[in-house]
């Protein structure tokens, strides 16, 4: 028998909620456009100056306060996120990059719902190929284009509209919290700062782009800089064996290491334990190779590779992080390099960095079932999915004990692209889905 969370019928209150959001279509478009208009390009280095993050948060805070929410806007300190795997080496500050949490209070006794979105966007310039200023949104053909339209200011507009509509019903027993954070694209420290500040709920919905599918799982990742040694020499000369003082091309030795990477990648992806119903298999791949002998006819004496290691939730260590896969990858590649005489005597060095945790919310939790029930009632997708990378919901799950799911407008393939856009119908449907699910969870 279907539970209340799985009902495919709308109650009169839910129908009024859905119709009310449809009537606010133009308002949702205006809100999305207003958010896109703030230049909130994510920092490319920890000390980079802020952009318009504070102005955006002030704009949203005033709106949410006007709708009846208790709003807090604050700048975390560097100490709030110090010593955490998400925090860049050397620390990071938040001057000019405030976080926002707005609480619509329920009457008491109900489950609480967190709606979370990141306000930072990846870089965008007209000269990259945009047909218009990426921070001047364009509306036409049933879509909004502009940097952040898909990832994820469109989703923020949808969740704000849903939260306001939910609060206006007057029937919520549980609280609805709207949180917007910085620094998702650069590191994840914004969501971490919010979780450590006490932002939490019984359930969380993060409207990252999923094509309105419900995605309760994501992979984690960790990166490694591998330095492969060589020995310089004249590129146009024959050279003796390295034990006789001959040159050794670091690029060639990198190719040997990369053969090991490909062998490990194939092995990982062939394991039965690598099969996940919602996620792509784990992976190891090279994202960058740099070698320079200093002169174009000089054999390079060093090469630097960047490896990306993508892992499933089942591969996480006991604390939810990546120590197990780091040890496995490094051990495997060291053994592989022992098969090359030069690398056996001159082993590469491994520096691990830039770590995010995998996450999975069980599909039978009330949050997942509420969204699936809402989609069923609204004629939206019923397929579950997962994210190949990471999102802030993984931080709330691990740091705050808040089970999270992704559920948002547009499609992840359009994120970070030149000409990024979001369909207007998706914005409205997303707000409706969140609102119906929120009513079923919090009323």
Q: What confidence tens digit (pLDDT) does each residue in 61-96 have?
A: 999 999 999 999 999 999 999 999 999 999 999 999
Residue 293's pLDDT band, with cuts at 50, 70 and 90, is confident
Q: What is the pLDDT of residues 4-55, one digit of tens each?
A: 444 568 999 999 999 999 999 999 999 999 999 999 999 999 999 999 999 9
Task: State yes or no: pLDDT of 130 exceeds 60.
Answer: yes
Name the active-site residue from 80, 120, 202, 420: 120
Q: What is the pLDDT of residues 142-185, one digit of tens each?
A: 999 999 999 999 999 999 999 999 999 999 999 999 999 999 99
For 185-196, the pLDDT digits (tens) are 999 999 999 999
Domains of the chain: 4-218+358-442 (3.40.630.10), 220-356 (3.30.70.360)
Centroid of chain to Cα 71: 25
Question: What is the tens place of the pLDDT at every residue in 334-371?
Answer: 999 999 999 999 999 999 999 999 999 999 999 999 99
Beta-strand runs (E) in 274-326: 283-291, 298-299, 302-311
Catalytic residue among 80, 184, 208, 392: 184
Distance CA 356, CA 377 (A): 35
Collapsing DSSP to helix, strand or coil, 48 comes out as coil
Terminal-to-terminal C-alpha distance of the chain: 22
Q: Which of 412, 411, 402, 407 has the alpha carbon at shortest distance from 434?
A: 407
Mean pLDDT over all residues of the chain?
Answer: 96
pLDDT, position 2 = 37
The reported pLDDT for the residue numbered 8 is: 65
Q: Which residues pair with 57 in a beta bridge?
A: none
Give the pair of three-digit tokens for residue 405: 């799911």
Model pTM score: 0.95
**pLDDT value of residue 68:** 98
With a pLDDT cut of 90, the percent of the chain lying above it is 97
Residue 1 pLDDT? 30
DSSP symbols for 319-336: TSSSHHHHHHHHHHHHHH
CB 167 within 8 A of CB 176: yes
Element (H, E) at 356: strand 349-356
184 classed as catalytic: yes
Strand partners, 104: 176
pLDDT tens string 113-126: 999 999 999 999 99
Q: Is the pLDDT of residue 310 over 70?
A: yes
Q: Which pLDDT score is estimated for 52?
A: 98
């Amino acid at each position: 028998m279907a539970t209340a969370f799985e009902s495919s019928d709308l109650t009169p209150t839910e129908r009024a909620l859905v119709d009310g959001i449809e009537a606010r279509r133009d308002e949702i478009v205006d809100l999305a456009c207003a958010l896109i208009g703030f230049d909130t390009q994510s920092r490319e280095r920890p000390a980079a100056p802020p952009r318009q993050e504070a102005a955006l948060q002030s704009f949203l805070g005033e709106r949410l306060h006007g709708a009846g929410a208790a709003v807090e806007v604050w700048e975390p300190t560097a100490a709030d996120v110090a010593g955490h795997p998400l925090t860049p080496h050397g620390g990071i500050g938040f001057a000019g990059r405030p976080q926002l949490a707005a609480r619509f209070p329920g009457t008491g006794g109900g489950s609480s719902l967190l709606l979370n979105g990141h306000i930072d966007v990846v870089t965008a310039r007209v000269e990259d190929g945009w047909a218009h200023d990426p921070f001047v949104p364009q509306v036409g053909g049933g879509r909004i284009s502009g940097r952040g339209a898909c990832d994820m200011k469109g989703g923020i507009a949808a969740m704000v509209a849903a939260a306001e509509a939910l609060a206006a019903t007057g029937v919520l027993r549980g609280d609805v919290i709207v949180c917007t954070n910085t620094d998702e694209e650069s590191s994840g420290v914004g969501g971490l700062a919010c979780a450590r500040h006490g932002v939490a709920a019984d359930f969380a919905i993060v409207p990252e782009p999923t094509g309105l599918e419900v995605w309760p799982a994501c992979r984690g990742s960790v990166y490694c800089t591998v330095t492969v040694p060589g020995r310089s020499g004249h590129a146009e000369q024959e050279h003796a064996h390295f034990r006789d003082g001959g040159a050794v091309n670091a690029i060639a030795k990198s190719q040997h290491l990369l053969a090991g990477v490909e062998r490990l990648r194939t092995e990982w992806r062939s394991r039965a334990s690598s099969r996940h119903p919602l996620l792509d298999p784990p992976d190891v791949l090279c994202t960058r190779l740099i070698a320079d002998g200093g002169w174009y006819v000089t054999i390079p004496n060093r090469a630097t590779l960047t490896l990306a290691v993508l892992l499933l939730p089942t591969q996480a260590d006991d604390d939810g992080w990546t120590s197990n896969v780091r040890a496995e990858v490094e051990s495997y590649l060291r053994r592989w390099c022992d098969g090359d005489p030069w690398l056996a005597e001159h082993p590469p060095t491994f520096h691990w960095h830039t770590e995010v945790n995998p996450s999975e919310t069980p599909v039978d939790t009330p949050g997942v079932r509420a969204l699936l029930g809402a989609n069923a009632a609204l004629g939206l997708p019923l397929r579950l999915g997962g994210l190949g990378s990471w999102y802030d919901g993984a931080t709330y799950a691990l740091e705050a004990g808040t089970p999270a799911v992704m559920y948002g407008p547009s499609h992840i393939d359009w994120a970070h692209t030149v000409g990024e856009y979001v369909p207007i119908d998706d914005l409205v449907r997303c707000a409706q889905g969140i609102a119906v699910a929120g009513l079923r969870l919090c009323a």
